[in-house]
Amino acid sequence: METQAVPLETQGRKRLCIALIACVILAAIGLVIAFELTDVFVRSHTDPDFQSFCAVSEGMNCETVALSEYSTQLGVPVSVWASAGYAFLVGLALLCLARLRDGFGRGFLFLFSCLFALVSLLLVYIMAAKIKSFCILCLALDVVNLGLLAMSLFAVFSSGQTPGDVVAYDFASLVRRPLWPLIVAALGLGALGGGYAYGSRLLQAANGEAQGPATEQKLDSPEEWTSKVHGECGEQCGCEEKKAGTVQMGTDEAGHAWIGSASAPLVIQEFTDYECPYCRKAHMMVRKLLSNHAEDVRVVHRHYPLDHVCNRAVPGPFHKRACELSRIAVCAGRQGRFWEMNDFLFQHAAEIRSAKLPADEIARRLELDPDQFQCCMNDSTVLDALKRDIEEGISLKLEGTPAFVIDGKVYYGKIPDEAVKRLEK
């Protein structure tokens, strides 16, 4: 039997109109919230001083979610995909209003509202089980999605039909009216294509990557204080002190790489993990501090990978390449290129994770000597150096990264304001 539209009474038409207008408003609200989430994503990745209004606590923090590996999918921020989805729903609901007489579009609106609700459930699970922190703006989108599902159901029942009836009618209409598939496809593909094009560029900008080919990318170093430092290193990775502008670099007696000033009144020990999203933000903060106070501070780098392969304090798999990436940094240091590699590993963290860049490719990007690098990666003394840092971190009872040690006191997440104020006096 052919599926047909059921003629609407005046009262039913009014209810349908109200439901569709509500869908337009809800989708528009979702679009605005998704834009705000995108702003949080970008600023969390690029502004070391940024603190979102929704960074309420450790368990309720939009920045934690934005900096997690789950904040992007297919090379695009999830918030941009959400923006594309809500833009599509606005267009679809408006199309339903335009075709109010024959009722076209209610089935598709219901299907996509169901999809959005399912995505909400998945993201809530990820925040609860994987990230272990909730995002207020994300939860607001979940409320929007539930509202869309409720209003799409209201639109279905306004004519006395079932969801199956209106879905079957919409698909039958696509066959009878070839123009409708083109309109719906144009809305969907336009939203997806625009979202991908914009989101991929946005992610590149957020990661500090150039627009050209990966092999031609240059490090974005403030005052170029890490970009062209070369030198000879001894067998124990002790590099001679170098200067890049007003910033000095070298290694201390224990072989730890440092940057800043050899005679600085403030010495900061930084314990970081190259797969830690907050460490990347802290890295930007340290850059800013050094560019403003290069002669007053010395930052000593310490490795604390949250990876059970080399860190006995980590009970199971967590940051699965963190130990390997720290070894890569140590081996770059043995060729006098530690700080360049340190920059690269943080700046290109998303690419390294998504493309699974092997160690030799990372070394090639920085034009390290391949034979010397490979020999170093197989050298057991590299792992010994990492474990010395790790054991010191364990003795300090570190609970995570980044951790900054100043005068024997541990600070998490950022260099404390009181330390910065000391430099500004």
161 plus 237 within the same structural domain: no
CA 107 from centre of chain: 35
In three-state form (DSSP H/G/I as H, E/B as E, the rest C), the secondary structure along 257-289 is: EEEECCCCCEEEEEEECCCCHHHHHHHHHHHHH
pLDDT in tens, 20-30: 999 999 999 99
179 plus 276 within the same structural domain: no
196 plus 244 within the same structural domain: no
| pLDDT attached to residue 110 | 93
pLDDT at residue 16 above 80?
A: yes
* Residue 215 placed within a domain: no
- Domain stop point among 150, 181, 206: 206
Cβ–Cβ < 8 Å for 245, 335: no
pLDDT in tens, 354-368: 788 999 999 999 999
Cβ–Cβ < 8 Å for 297, 289: yes
Strand, coil or helix: 239: strand
Confidence band (pLDDT; 50, 70, 90) for 11? Answer: low
pLDDT at residue 1 above 50?
A: no
164 plus 301 within the same structural domain: no
Q: What is the CATH number of the domain that holds 252?
A: 3.40.30.10
* Residue 308 placed within a domain: yes
Question: For the ranges 61-65, 203-207, 255-259, which has the lowest average pLDDT?
Answer: 203-207
Strand, coil or helix: 348: coil
Predicted model pTM: 0.69
As a whole number of angstroms, the distance between CA 345 and CA 337 comes to 12
Strand, coil or helix: 415: coil
171 plus 23 within the same structural domain: yes
| pLDDT attached to residue 10 | 60
Q: In the sheet where 409-412 sits, what is the strand order?
A: 242-244, 247-251, 257-260, 297-303, 266-272, 403-406, 409-412
Mean pLDDT value across residues 298-302 = 95
Higher local confidence (pLDDT), 207 or 258: 258
Domain containing 350 equals: 222-424
pLDDT in tens, 412-423: 988 888 887 777
Question: For the ranges 99-103, 334-338, 375-379, which has the lowest average pLDDT?
Answer: 99-103
| pLDDT attached to residue 323 | 95
- Domain stop point among 206, 240, 259: 206
Which long-range CB contacts under 8 A does 210-219 form with residues at least 24 apart? 214/351, 214/365, 215/365, 217/348, 217/365, 219/340, 219/343, 219/344, 219/347
Our count of domains for the chain comes to: 2
* Residue 5 placed within a domain: no
| pLDDT attached to residue 398 | 93
| pLDDT attached to residue 87 | 92
Cβ–Cβ < 8 Å for 11, 157: no
Q: What is the CATH number of the domain that holds 92?
A: 1.20.1440.130
pLDDT in tens, 312-340: 999 988 889 999 999 999 999 999 999 99
Question: For the ranges 52-56, 111-115, 342-346, which has the lowest average pLDDT?
Answer: 52-56
Confidence band (pLDDT; 50, 70, 90) for 389? Answer: very high
126 plus 233 within the same structural domain: no
Name the strand (E) or helix (H) holding 365. helix 359-365
pLDDT at residue 112 above 90?
A: yes
199 plus 227 within the same structural domain: no
184 plus 254 within the same structural domain: no
